Structure 1
């Protein structure tokens, strides 16, 4: 009996060690067994645990696995099919590893899966048709892999899909039927750098929830651009570059007011904004004929007349044309005499009547269209009260709603106060109050602000509306929720800790800012110059998308009544230079401009695009080093450009220059050095030797991706 009890107690003491781990834990152990894990990410995955909920990368709910997330850990191998047996699995994230092989069909048995993020691996093969089982899928990111084949038609059954990113693979074939109607919840779509072909589905215009950039670039899409794409939200930027599209570019909705950068690389496209006009033989974007009553063998309007036309269909004779012109001139003269007589009789009477009314204390009203010079000037330059003026068709609020909304101060500067305003519907806006002066320059202000309001680019903060009165001038923008780049690099004053930017995020900010500046410099209507670019006016969206803000703000504030101009800055800089003889000319200028103004700002009155290039270069240096643009060296101050040049001359290692928060990204040394070369080209003291923003954008987007040498001849 004693031996039996001893055996029973011994068996019970061993049983937790042999059968303690639940079935989900054993499923995950198969992953650990077949995948190489050089960084030990799965070292604490032990069979002695009761469940896997405490394991690295595993998240549970009610003791059941709901998430597997092991990104950027150099995992090597293929995924086991058994993962699909995790019935409550919601999220899978293996981004930026070295996984390969095909996606196991069994993975799609986890029908509750909401996000599948596999970008930055070497997966291959096609996407299984079983993806239709994932009715709750919201995020599918397979970018930067080796997937091939057509996109399965069954993907349109994923009705809740919000993010579809397939860029940089080898996908081929047509987009599935019903792509636009079936995936109507899509908010982000990126199909770039694949081999998709066929026409762009006309129902893609139904994707009314899309945001940011819809990227269809670098594929083999052919045929006409469907006019229905214009039905997408106007704030969406549609990138169709480098395809085989042809015909006229539709001029409606989201396709209007776009620069040529959205369409380049399609030799068959014509019409605005491209320079090559459409000929008469170019097919229209819509099927109905503009001349439905003409038989098929009839020439179009004007064909066969004039030079090259047949004698039978020859145009009017010279005598007939001269007769028509003379008759028109006589008619115009008669109309002018009649108008003059009418003006002197009727408007003169009303002017006398108005004076009589004003003498009686009542404001008279003119009953005819009498536009005297003094009246028009009074209307435009001495406005006492002006309603809220929308600059976008999507503005759905009025002045009363704006003034009643909750407002929070975001910041103050010499130009004005910036508020976050939250309307009753929960819509957040950014409102800048410019001040109370400048009541005599409304017409000038109106021209300037409405020109700025027409600019539309995914990396430029959009001006939505404005308000003008004698006592108040307001600019209303979209609210960008993630603060400024200055805060993202250095943190908020007074806060000890903050989340530093990773290198991929910094690179994304560099590229987006370059795209925005390229648009301003080369593709905006007036080829604008920002003139005051710095991290504090580069705002960041939730996904770290950069938005260049405060464009044109200095001039608007000057018109509205008084902010410091560049001229006053130069006067102050000259005084500073007199007081600080020990500082170089460039350092004095940069300390005044917070380190971002080009050295020639002291000498040249009008800002140039090369000013922006210099400022952009300083921002790149700031993103690489994590340092402020004015560096404290011993008891003296040195601007960041001079400090970097000193470090290069002294042949200091990259680690001495690099932001300490980027220590984990040491494997990106080649990219970082490439960006450093770009920055040094931008801050060249010679304006002629600085690259253009389009050259910078090309190097950032192509050379760094391909790992080739940065192509600036002066380096």
Structure 2
């Protein structure tokens, strides 16, 4: 009999769950056609928005006229309107001198609207109400005259929001707390305003770019933002903590509370306070006045059912969270960079000597307690001679930048939290987040035994002296005979390869305009020219120039990595993996030339213009025998076999085929330069200086700020959990 109520409650709970699911299904089904159907009344909605805007007499919105359609397939009939299959997808009204009122409520009837950009106009007044546009991915309002306090719930319920750019306005008051609840936030720029108070705890895992500089913020920077570069907080004199390095003052100790006088009572002794009395009464099943409440006399079946239902739903939620956590743990390998007594090594099977070295460093004086402390004590008792001998065996961390100083030690690196960024062909790459909050990238090489220790260290010092805005500087290195670590600053925007081609399921490649591509080409060419001037003694000053070795900083300026490593790489390993060793002269004559890097530059130019990854190795013999099986990634053959008059229609990346005619002419010129750099005959191939001179004279019709050149990457599909540039 005791089990009967339990089984009855279980059956009742199952029925309630089924009813809830049945009640939810029709609502979801009703919402599906809304997201798939074309926008209804898009013209009316946009004309209503236009009615509050003053275009300054420039006629910027002259094409927005009644009786016409905003979209024409994927093209647009109205200026500044972004379309996708006859559906309004975004608005890009930038630098047009617009003012007046932004009535964004008029756009509620555009369910497919994803992007709004009104940057560099003359709009003033309070923050426009964007909350009702819950499907927005990106909001760009920088460079206007907006002012006042933004409501705390301004971004509430915007679960798809990825980018918020409000910089260079006159906003004041606290940063809206609802930004901390936007789960997919990737980029937040609030710099150059008058925001006040403390920074919200922004815990979004994907949030990589934050700029809060030049405001009036105060207090300690949240731990979730300690990996952000310090200059992103500059100009806030009252901020403290990592990564600024300014210590936060400890709050004053509270004064001892005066002892409360014992409560009086009509009866002898003391009586509990009213809240305590109520709690005691409830626990005994009586109210504060002594009466037994009706609810306590007999538990109602309905309340028990709701309790069981809550327990079941809670259990399901816990299981769901556990599954998500397990998936993320599989996706990200985030552990301690250096082994400790309680954490396994970062790599599945690291060499035993490396493991022992890390354990020794963790057990050095000042490293910690517990097992490590005991080992530390035993080693300290061994004397200084033994310690020095062990230090020689474990290697050392050497900084090579005179302008950086020594801002961490080897034991800090070994204790850092590390995330595997990838296993490149030259070695494994990690992001190590130090306890100070600063992040560095550590590349582990095992094929660098070509030269001895002295020659290796001399070459690293030579690299440390290099300084160019388009080179990622070497910060430090760690030398051991078995392996070497090269340490650089962490760059959050990933690589040019990721920008052009996307990465992994659900990540869509960005829409990159001509101006942005030309800027990247010029930066790469300038950095390569600098390497040729500074390392003229090397036959191949770079050696591994490819899109995955070009990182992008916060302004999407290119930063070359893995340069000048040929002198210290094992030749067999370099010949197998490094791009310069794939050049035609290397394959024909077994040696590289001063123009091997030029060949790599030519392939990179073709990759940037076509949007296709290149094939550095020749096609297989079987495939080469069949003309139909031509490798579409053999860019030199594809471009060379296409008449020049057809390049813009068949070779150039489709994302750029809507560019201005002036830009298209420049594209053709750059393709010619790329082909001249890829000549198989070394004598016919252009010199680097000729290529750079040709690149420098190229220009692009201004599209506005550099940021504009990239932001349209938020044109993502609802079906994919894709990510804009980050």
What TM-score results when the alignment is normalised by the length of structure 2? 0.45
- Identify the structure with bigger relative contact order (alpha carbons < 8 Å, sequence gap 6+): 2
What TM-score results when the alignment is normalised by the length of structure 1? 0.46
